[in-house]
Structure 1
């Protein structure tokens, strides 16, 4: 399927199923949000990295308007629907302030592995423990997808974007597993280094056997 959608480029990666709060203040995006909410139509959020609008993004819908300000600014709550690929950006849309794009929607396969998901979740929780971060997922473990976990795994923006255009759940989970297996030993070493730095300058009881 190929179609035209309004676009709202942002320097973030949004995943399908993700709830995202936006404060809309630019005139072009106020027009976009008002129109999409009124007509019940979705819009796209392509990821902007290094000031470049990238090829992939996520189609979102406005779940509700939380607040409309006197100057027309809006607080809206959006929900990610599915990943799109930009075929062509339409910078000037007749009678509109916002830009749009011709997009298609790559097939996305959700077949998963319970074992792999459990390994990824265990690694994420180990990372959070090292960082002394407390995070709770909104649903039970068996209902979580890689998309639900990604923002909690310490990925960079570029890595989050790489995962956005993996179109099999098993690939996404493997991607997260490899990332966490690389990051966790580094974080553990940093914690050990921190402990050594704390000891420097303090009196310590040291002894060596047999001397």
Structure 2
């Protein structure tokens, strides 16, 4: 069981391991946190604030400070490292203005089901085909669930659920089920677009008589 005490930055986002994210730092306490990270191991945790639950998140490595503004604001880039669950949460202390905590890193069993790998590839291709984006996706030999998860239209809550799954097999299954539900909707949407284009000679829509603003509507 690997644990670590790290600064914590609550945000309404989910960062996957190996994902690069750009952040704009403007609050004084988080500017202090960045400076402290630069003097240390450059690690802090993005705590995913989803549905008022602030327990899971991802440790990130501070890769670069891209810009520093005259007032001290910063544009930084971080890369996700490992998913964690918070064991102990510490509020602000006199030596720092930001929160920190003891986190336990989640196990990350990377064993895969080869049949599921093939099924996931096929579903991803079908998904992009349904969006008429066939040439936009390429795979290496074995795509990772975290690597493709943020391209598949997951909601914030769904990303959060994916982050909490500790086995690659489970993450594969989660994405396959998501795509099974999403692909038919995408196909219906594109079919509707095609029908609208076929009727493109209609430039105006008769939505009925306009409402007279001087006519008393009354109340029920």
Give TM class, smaller chain.
0.7 to 0.9
| Deviates further, 75-84 or 157-166 | 75-84
CA contact (8 A) 2:6 2:100 kept: yes
Unaligned runs of 5+ in 2: 203-220
C-alpha displacement at 1:165, in angstroms? 0.5
- In the TM superposition, what are the counterparts of 1:188-207 in structure 2 within 5 Å? 188-199=187-198
CA contact (8 A) 1:93 1:100 kept: no
C-alpha displacement at 1:63, in angstroms? 1.2
Look up the SS of the partner of 1:13 in the other structure.
Answer: coil
CA contact (8 A) 2:5 2:100 kept: yes
Map Cα deviations across residues 165-211 of structure 1 (whole Å, 9 max, x no partner).
000011101110110011101211222233345556979xxxxxxxx
Look up the SS of the partner of 1:86 in the other structure.
Answer: strand
* TM-score between both structures, scaled by the size of structure 2: 0.82
Look up the SS of the partner of 2:30 in the other structure.
Answer: helix
CA contact (8 A) 1:2 1:103 kept: yes
Partner of 2:182: 183
| Cα distance in 1 for residues equivalent to 2:12 and 2:136 | 24
CA contact (8 A) 2:82 2:106 kept: no
Q: 1:35 to 1:53 in 2, by over 3 A?
A: farther
CA contact (8 A) 1:46 1:53 kept: no
CA contact (8 A) 1:114 1:142 kept: no
Which has more radius of gyration?
A: 2
Look up the SS of the partner of 1:154 in the other structure.
Answer: coil
Look up the SS of the partner of 1:49 in the other structure.
Answer: coil
| Cα distance in 2 for residues equivalent to 1:195 and 1:136 | 23
Unaligned runs of 5+ in 1: 204-211
| Deviates further, 121-130 or 69-78 | 121-130
Cα RMSD for the two superposed structures: 2.2
- In the TM superposition, what are the counterparts of 1:58-69 in structure 2 within 5 Å? 58-69=58-69
Q: 1:199 to 1:57 in 2, by over 3 A?
A: same
C-alpha displacement at 1:114, in angstroms? 4.0
C-alpha displacement at 1:90, in angstroms? 1.0
Partner of 2:85: 85
Map Cα deviations across residues 119-160 of structure 1 (whole Å, 9 max, x no partner).
3233223222322446456xx522531110000111111000
| Cα distance in 2 for residues equivalent to 1:111 and 1:167 | 11
C-alpha displacement at 1:22, in angstroms? 1.1
C-alpha displacement at 1:46, in angstroms? 1.1
CA contact (8 A) 1:9 1:53 kept: no
Matched, 1:94 2:94: yes
Q: 1:102 to 1:194 in 2, by over 3 A?
A: same
